[in-house]
Amino acid sequence: MIVIDASVALKWFFDGEPGRVRALLVLDAVRENPDGFAVPELFFAEMLAVLCRSLNAKSSRIQSHMGDLEALGLTRIGHGHELLETAVGFSVDWGLSGYDALYAATAHLLNGTWLTADKKAARRVRKAPLVQLLDSWPV
Q: Among 139, 84, 93, 136, which Cα is nearest to 113's?
A: 136
Residues in the chain: 139
Q: Do 4 and 134 contact (CB within 8 A), yes or no?
A: no
* CA–CA distance, 63 with 70 (Å, rounded to integer): 10
Q: In this predicted model, which residue has the larger pLDDT, 109 or 56?
A: 109
* CA–CA distance, 118 with 102 (Å, rounded to integer): 14
Q: pLDDT above 90 covers what percent of the chain?
A: 86
Mean pLDDT of the chain: 94
Q: Which domains does the chain have, with CATH numbers?
A: 2-136 (3.40.50.1010)
**pLDDT for position 55:** 63
**pLDDT for position 48:** 96
Q: Is 33 exposed, middle or buried (0-12, 13-18, 19+ CB in 10 A)?
A: exposed
Task: Tell me the pLDDT tens digit for each residue of 73-130.
Answer: 999 999 999 999 999 999 999 999 999 999 999 999 999 999 999 999 999 997 778 9
